[in-house]
Amino acid sequence: PESSTGYSYEDCQATADWLLSQTAVRPLVGIVCGSGLGGLAEALKDQVAFNYRDIPNFPQSTVHGHAGRLVFGTLKGRPCVCMQGRFHLYEGYAIQKITMPMRIFKLLGVETVILTNAAGGLNQDYKVGDIMIIKDHLNMPGFAGNNPLAGPNDERFGVRFPCMSDAYDRELQQMALDVGSELGYSNFLREGVYCVLGGPSFETIAECRMLHKLGADAVGMSTVHEVIVARHCGMRVFALSLITNKAVMNYDSEEKANHEEVLQTGKQRAEQLERLVSTIVTRLEHN
């Protein structure tokens, strides 16, 4: 049957097999680096890296600040694969293209996916530079019918109607809190709800106020689609938002969201975010 990916299971298998033939690394952890957070990929040892354009069937990245490489390597001895640069709805991709790499992760043998993103803070207690452990999400494009699992379902990936109430692994959230505390990060580590929008325009003031009332702590343009597809095919998920700016909530505010601020904050907090993720990776247990 035609797969819901726009890529058939066989297409994904061919891509995964090609990658496995090019590297000896057998990753159990898959990492997705958000805007300005690609440094995590640089930290991998014994790297084997592929430009997206050189990988059969792989989508291409277009955004400034996203390198567009799939990097295999080890993080303190643990085999990992890392997406340096991801795909977004606002680039004009079909939603199935954005999430296709999650199925490649699965077919490579990945058991745990860790995703990072840059996000705007809606929660008034949040400060720029805070790191938010994502405990749940609001999938706004999904409300409008734009879900990466829409279309025919291939049971080899997962069930037709996957559960999402357990999308974000609770053990990993607790581990992140513990690791954060050990590293001395507790005063800027948060737990909250991430809301995804299509972008590329940032939110209006009225939209920010609405999202906050609906229970969102942070807003961004990524991650949720990948989480849905990763959970569909049975991988464990952990996700972090770096709060790069405060969403504008008041008409007397002079602030304006802009991409440069997002990248700048990413640079300042990137090292700590990378240390948090790499420490979590070394504590993961796999079958």
Indicate which single residue of 80, 119, 138, 227 sits in contact with ligand 6GU (rule: CB under 6 A): 119
| CA angle (50 as vertex; 23, 233 as ends), nearest 5 | 75
Residue 220, CA distances (Å) to 17, 38, 122, 241, 245 in order: 33, 17, 10, 9, 11
Residue 128 and residue 244 in contact, taking contact as beta carbons nearer than 8 Å = yes
Whether 222 is catalytic: yes
Q: What minimum distance in Å lies between the beta carbon of 83 and ligand 6GU?
A: 18
Residues touching ligand 6GU, count (CB under 6 A):
15
Indicate which single residue of 68, 79, 85, 120 sits in contact with ligand 6GU (rule: CB under 6 A): 120
| CA angle (84 as vertex; 78, 87 as ends), nearest 5 | 130
195 backbone dihedrals φ, ψ, rounded to 5°: -110, 130
Cα–Cα distance for residue pair 184/167, rounded to 1 Å:
27
Q: What minimum distance in Å lies between the beta carbon of 194 and ligand 6GU?
A: 10
Q: What minimum distance in Å lies between the beta carbon of 70 and ligand 6GU?
A: 23
Whether 232 is catalytic: no
- Subset of residues 192 to 231 that bind ligand 6GU, contact rule: CB under 6 A: 197, 199, 202-203, 219-221
Residue 135 and residue 190 in contact, taking contact as beta carbons nearer than 8 Å = no
Whether 66 is catalytic: yes
Of all residues in the shown chain, the one whose CB is closest to ligand 6GU is: 120
Q: Which of 16, 83, 118, 167 is catalytic?
A: 118
- Around Cβ 2, how many Cβ atoms within 10 Å? 9
Whether 137 is catalytic: no
Sign of CA dihedral 223, 225, 228, 233: negative
Give me the active site residues, please: 35, 66, 88, 90-91, 118, 221-222, 245, 259
Q: Which stretches of the chain bind ligand 6GU, using CB under 6 A?
A: 118-120, 197, 199, 202-203, 219-221, 244-245, 247, 257, 262
